[in-house]
Chain A
Amino acid sequence: MVKYRNVKVPEGINVSRHSPLAELVILSAGVVALFGLLGLAALLLGSTLGRYMPVSWENRLANAVFEERLAAQEASESAVAVEADLQALADRLAPHMNLPEGLRITVHYVDDAAVNAFATLGGHVFILRGLVQRMPDENALAMVMAHEIAHAGNRDVAANLGGVLLMQLVLSTTFGSAPELADQLIAGPNSLLLKRFGREAESRADADGLAAVAALYGHVGGAATFFEIALEQAGETMPEEGPELLSTHPLSANRIAAMRDLARQRGWPADGERTPLPPLLAALGTDG
């Protein structure tokens, strides 16, 4: 005779014992790490691709991104004149800089008190009023400008763009919100595009800029002025108000030393006759 007896089963055999919150934390950390690595890989690959992108593509891109916006900007007559003076200086520097074919340097003057200058896509270099005002002579200004031109010439901007874009592409395809994120990073207030070239790129731009200045003036006097100002400012307003250009660059003291070493190696005279700023530019300093 078969007996029938229903026996209760203990709990938890078909349910894994685990803490869901802990699982969430571990998995989230894993996902963040995974996408971090993915993003980093894309950044590196993208910057390599960007650096070797043909100049004509870069120009076309720059047209699409900046030209319209720049054209819409209204500039006063005096600003146009200042810009012309700055452009003239750039045109004198450019032949000494071994720029890639097809890359034309266009200087823009921005009426802003910050002591800053930056290079963006397609050889557009922005010089801010605050910078010009602090420059005692043309040699000092030329060094900063040559440094920025070197960034454009070394394709640092294009590399940056390529890296950021590819990273955005990869991350946004995985997260599925491509347009907004990418837009925010390229044109938004936190635009990555305008800053951060990495230490190596900065040192190279310093060296190339210095070479151009030496070739133009026959000596490297005044080249370190900007960094001396940076050092001096570091004491005052560094934390938040300090110019971005300064805060993201390698330590100014090191750069001054590196430039001095380079000048000695190449046999460039450490100082010589300083060229005064063109009258218009010099005038900016006096009324500031």
Chain B
Amino acid sequence: MIISTLETVPGRSVIEHLGIVQGSTVRAKHIGRDIAASLKNIVGGELRGYTELLSEARDEALQRMIEQATSKGANAVVNIRFSTSSVTQGASEILAYGSAVVVE
């Protein structure tokens, strides 16, 4: 599975568009991390717990998007975008979406 933020896959031409695919998840860290993060907020710096949370969530969203693309019979997802929103405090929602295509 080729995944890319480009419109096309260089050197290979798109022969079929199969429509939009998306993957999303909502995740939260345990409350201890939340407390630690709010303390860390006082001095600033990277909130490792949350970085980890977001990257886990992003991986999962991508995985789900790829799963959708596979089920459509695509071999590439192009023009991928991420979108983050917070549905509720302390949780993060990640959406990954793109176009499922078949390339040569």
Contact = CB atoms under 8 A, between A and B. Distances in A.
Interface string A1-39: 011111101100110000000000000000000000000
Contact of A7 (B15, B19, B25, B64): B19
Chain B contact residues, majority secondary structure: strand
Contacts of A9: 21, 68, 71-72
B77 to A, nearest CB: 13
**Which bucket holds chain B's interface residue count?**
10 to 19
Interface string B4-43: 0000000000111111011111000000000000000000
Given A2-B14, A2-B15, A7-B72, 8 more contacts: A3-B17, A4-B17, A5-B17, A6-B19, A10-B71, A13-B64, A14-B24, A14-B25
28 contacts: A2-B14, A2-B15, A2-B17, A3-B15, A3-B16, A3-B17, A4-B16, A4-B17, A5-B16, A5-B19, A6-B19, A7-B18, A7-B19, A7-B72, A7-B73, A7-B100, A9-B21, A9-B71, A9-B72, A10-B71, A13-B23, A13-B64, A13-B67, A13-B71, A14-B22, A14-B24, A14-B64, A14-B68
Interface of A: 2-7, 9-10, 13-14
Contacts of A7: 18-19, 72-73, 100
B14 A13 contact: no
Contacts of B21: 9
A13 to B, nearest CB: 5
Contacts of A10: 71
Nearest to B22: A14
Interface string B50-72: 00000000000000100110011
Contacts of A13: 23, 64, 67-68, 71
B67 A5 contact: no
B40 to A, nearest CB: 22
Nearest to A4: B17
Most chain B CB atoms below 10 A, which of A2, A4, A6, A7: A7
B81 to A, nearest CB: 16
A14 B25 CA distance: 7
A3 B74 CA distance: 13
B47 to A, nearest CB: 23
